[in-house]
Every structure is written in C-alpha cells, then in structure tokens.
C-alpha cells in the first residue's frame, strides 16, 4: 500500500512538473473537427501588443477537455523542465516560410542536422486520465524554439497527436508583430 501511495504521489508530481497546474474551465471548443473527435482543444492567446526583437517572445497556450468524460493525456516523467515541448509540434512562419529553428526545436522534433551536437531527449511517459473541464495553461517561449532575427508579421500554430484516436488536433493561428 505504501509503495502504491508513493507511486501515485510521484506520478502527480511528475504531471505537475510536466504540464503545469490544472484548473477548471467551462465553455465550448474551437470548432476544429479533430478537436471535437479527440475531446480537447488547443487555444493560443492572440498577443495584444507587438514584441521587440531584444525581448522575450512568449505566447500562452491553453489545452482544454471539452467532453463530458475523462480523456487520456500523455504525461512525461522527466527532470527536464522543457519536456512538455516534446509532445507538441510548432509551426512559426514569416512570409509563408518556417523561421530558422534552434537546436532545441530540431531535437524535440527529430529534425537534427548532421552538424548538430549529439543530444537525445530522455524520459518516459504515462497516459493519465483528465476529467472534463480540465485545462493546462502553458507559456511557449518562441526564442527557445526559433532563431528570430528580423522584425515583421509572423504566424504561429501548434498541433498535438491525440493518443486515443491518433488524429492531429490543431490550435487556432495567431499573428505576432515583431518590431526592432
């Protein structure tokens, strides 16, 4: 019994480290058919003000269970604070072309270049049930993922592969204005 309690505590702590605190949120989804089928939505918050090139470029992402039942969510068990990035796909574009990626982005998306250092993501994952209304709010640090060197209008989208039905759930697209 003690071992089970310790295991449950470790899983809860790993989940909190991986996905952040959970909160309740009422409301409907984003209208994406894959979101409705998979039971959750990914919503990016549209930034109100432009970002400066020399400042952090951060966007808020919310994941929400829009069903009336539990859905399965993959939680990572890793000591890496950035492990949650690994489960999402990011597309950040300027003039219809993806912005140059960082080594970190190439590592988590398995798109390493021959001249990249050898570095492999490690850790394990577990599927955990998430009750209706549960949401995670996470901050995406775009400078951690992309080499942003030019001012301009950029577009960001995020996607995630649903565990239960293997569909791709896509976020809304947000436009970011980056100034010198």
pLDDT digits (tens, 9 = 90+) for 32-78: 777 777 789 999 999 999 999 999 999 999 999 999 998 888 776 65
Cα dihedral 161→114→140→30 (10° resolution) = -30
Q: What is the pLDDT of residue 162?
A: 81
Nearest CA among 113, 133, 117, 120 for reference residue 83: 120
pLDDT digits (tens, 9 = 90+) for 93-149: 999 999 999 888 887 777 777 776 776 656 677 788 888 887 789 999 999 999 999
pLDDT digits (tens, 9 = 90+) for 145-157: 999 999 999 999 9
* pTM for this prediction: 0.75
CA dist 132 → 109, 159, 174 (Å): 29, 20, 26
Q: What is the pLDDT of residue 4?
A: 43
Contact 22, 136 (CB under 8 A): yes
Query: Does 91 score more than 80 pLDDT?
Result: yes
Report all structural domains of the chain as residue ranges with CATH numbers, in order of start. 2-179 (2.60.40.2550)
Query: Does 80 score more than 70 pLDDT?
Result: no
Backbone angles phi, psi at 47, to 5 degrees: -65, 140
Q: What is the pLDDT of residue 46?
A: 97
Q: How far apart are the first and last CA of the chain?
A: 59
Query: Does 5 score more than 60 pLDDT?
Result: no
């Amino acid at each position: 019994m003690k071992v089970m309690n310790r295991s449950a505590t470790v899983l809860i702590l790993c989940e909190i480290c991986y996905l952040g605190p959970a909160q309740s949120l009422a409301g409907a989804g984003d209208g994406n058919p894959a979101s409705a089928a998979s039971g959750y939505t990914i919503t990016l918050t549209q930034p109100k003000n432009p970002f400066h090139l020399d400042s952090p470029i951060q966007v808020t992402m919310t994941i929400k269970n829009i069903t009336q039942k539990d859905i399965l969510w993959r939680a990572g068990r890793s000591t890496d604070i950035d492990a949650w990035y690994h489960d999402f796909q990011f597309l950040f574009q300027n003039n219809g072309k993806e912005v140059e990626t960082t080594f970190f982005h190439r590592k988590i998306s398995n798109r390493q270049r021959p001249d990249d250092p050898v570095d492999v993501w490690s850790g394990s994952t577990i599927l955990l049930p998430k009750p209706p209304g549960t949401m995670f709010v996470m901050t995406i640090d775009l400078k951690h993922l992309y080499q942003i060197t030019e001012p301009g209008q950029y577009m960001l989208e995020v996607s995630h592969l649903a565990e239960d039905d293997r569909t791709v759930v896509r976020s809304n697209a947000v436009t970011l204005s980056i100034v010198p």
